[in-house]
């Protein structure tokens, strides 16, 4: 696998032990980062091209046989001037299903990250958020945040600035590696199916966007 800026659906981050309960039924996801299920079912499978032109592309994928629900994800990517916009939608043909979306962009160092969050999710000894929130301590981070007071900004050594705009409510920041920083907008926290579940129906799909706004300092 080679990482870049992949979408995450129908969940983002880890699901503890790959297990969650929906409508009183327990579901077991495929374990792809022992002992947990991580980053959804669409990051390492081919998507179907719907349409494209000189500045945009649209693609679709089913959520896979191992998901346990009938559904699909649609992503559109468009470039307008100095803005790259990503839109991700998850929908279902079932009466209901849990859903979460997000993106996992990697940004090459050297760069610096500016963020302003009011809360950080406390992680347990297994690295999974417990649902309890604390004031953000100093980094480095492999953590989920909420309460964004401004859009995260990355400043690069060549005097390029990149602002990440989104309507997602949560962010995961992973800045422990020496070669890169991950700043991940997500519609919910890791293990969200268990601590903050969001349910969609046939009539209420989940849609979120991420914009990368590039400027010169």
Tens of pLDDT, residue by residue over 153-206, are: 999 988 999 999 999 999 999 999 999 999 999 999 999 999 999 999 999 999
Task: Read off the pLDDT of residues 112-141 as tens digits, 9 standing for 90 and up.
Answer: 999 999 999 999 998 999 999 999 999 999
Given this model, what pLDDT does residue 217 score?
83
Average pLDDT over residues 100-106: 98
* Other beta carbons within 10 Å of 59: 18
Given this model, what pLDDT does residue 203 score?
97
Of the candidates 72, 99, 90, 69, the residue with the CA atom closest to the CA atom of residue 188:
99
Global pTM value = 0.95
Task: Read off the pLDDT of residues 31-71 as tens digits, 9 standing for 90 and up.
Answer: 998 999 999 999 989 999 999 999 999 999 999 999 999 99
Average pLDDT over residues 91-104: 98
Average pLDDT over residues 67-96: 98
Arithmetic mean of pLDDT over the chain: 96
Domains defined along the chain, listed by start: 5-216 (2.70.98.10)
Contact call for residues 41 and 61 (beta carbons, < 8 A): no
Residue 47 Cα to chain centre, angstroms? 17
Residue 1 pLDDT greater than 60, yes or no:
no
Rounded CA gap, 38 and 160, in Å?
32
Question: What are the φ/ψ torsions at residue 16 (nearest 5 degrees)?
Answer: -55, 120
Residue 2 pLDDT greater than 70, yes or no:
no
Given this model, what pLDDT does residue 23 score?
95
Of the candidates 132, 163, 168, the residue with the CA atom closest to the CA atom of residue 148:
168
Find the Cα–Cα–Cα–Cα dihedral 127, 183, 57, 209, rounded to 10°: 90
Given this model, what pLDDT does residue 3 score?
73
Residue 97 pLDDT greater than 70, yes or no:
yes
For residue 148, give every residue at least 6 positions away whose Cβ sits within 8 Å of its Cβ, in sequence order, or none: 115, 116, 117, 118, 171
């Amino acid at each position: 696998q080679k990482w870049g800026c992949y979408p995450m659906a129908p969940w983002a981050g880890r699901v503890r032990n790959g297990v969650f309960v929906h409508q009183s039924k327990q579901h077991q996801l495929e374990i792809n980062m022992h002992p947990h299920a991580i980053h959804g079912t669409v990051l390492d499978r081919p998507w179907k091209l719907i349409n494209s032109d000189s500045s945009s592309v649209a693609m679709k994928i089913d959520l896979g046989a191992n998901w346990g629900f009938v559904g699909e994800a649609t992503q559109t990517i468009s470039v307008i001037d100095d803005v790259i916009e990503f839109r991700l939608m998850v929908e279902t043909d079932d009466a209901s299903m849990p859903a979460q979306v997000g993106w996992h962009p990697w940004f090459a160092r050297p760069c610096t990250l500016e963020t302003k969050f009011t809360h950080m999710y406390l992680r347990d000894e297994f690295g999974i958020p417990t649902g309890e929130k604390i004031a953000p301590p100093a980094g480095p981070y492999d953590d989920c945040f909420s309460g964004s007071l401004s859009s995260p900004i990355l400043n690069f050594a060549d005097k390029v600035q990149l602002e990440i705009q989104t309507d997602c409510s949560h962010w995961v920041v992973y800045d422990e590696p020496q070669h890169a920083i991950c700043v991940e907008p997500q519609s919910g926290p890791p293990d969200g199916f268990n601590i903050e579940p969001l349910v969609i129906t046939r009539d209420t799909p989940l849609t979120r966007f991420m914009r990368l706004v590039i400027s010169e300092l």
